[in-house]
Amino acid sequence: MLRLLPLSNREARGHPLAPLPWDPASRRAARMTPGCTDLWENVVRGWYPELAATPHRDVALWHSSYTQTYLERDVRSLS
């Protein structure tokens, strides 16, 4: 079993090696920083690879399935 973390904002936008937003050496970093509305949409959506790969996917349905999988697995492991 592999434990994978969600994608970073830079990875999800296709620029994994882009400078970090607080890097003063880069003026391009400011353009890559999402606005307030985009930031909250990203927080709600998350950057899980499956959601990033399929932007049209229903986020609420995906999160409920994700939670259900964890609950079923945890309940099974406790019993």
Given a contact cutoff of 8 angstroms between Cβ atoms, the answer to whether 7 and 52 are in contact is yes
Residue 4 domain-assigned (yes or no): no
Q: What's the domain range around 33?
A: 9-78
- Kindly state the DSSP code that residue 9 receives in the 8-state scheme: H
pLDDT of residue 44: 75
Check residue 75 and give its pLDDT.
78
Q: pLDDT tens across 13-62, in order?
A: 788 888 777 777 666 555 556 677 777 777 777 778 888 888 888 988 98
Give the CA dihedral 53, 57, 61, 63, nearest 10 degrees: 30
Number of domains in the chain: 1
Task: Give phi and psi for 27, each to the nearest 5.
Answer: -85, -20
Q: What is the pTM of this model?
A: 0.55
Mean pLDDT, rounded, for 51-75: 86
The answer to the question of residue 73 being in a domain is yes
CA distance 68 to 1: 18
Amino acid at 63: H
- DSSP letter assigned to residue 38: H
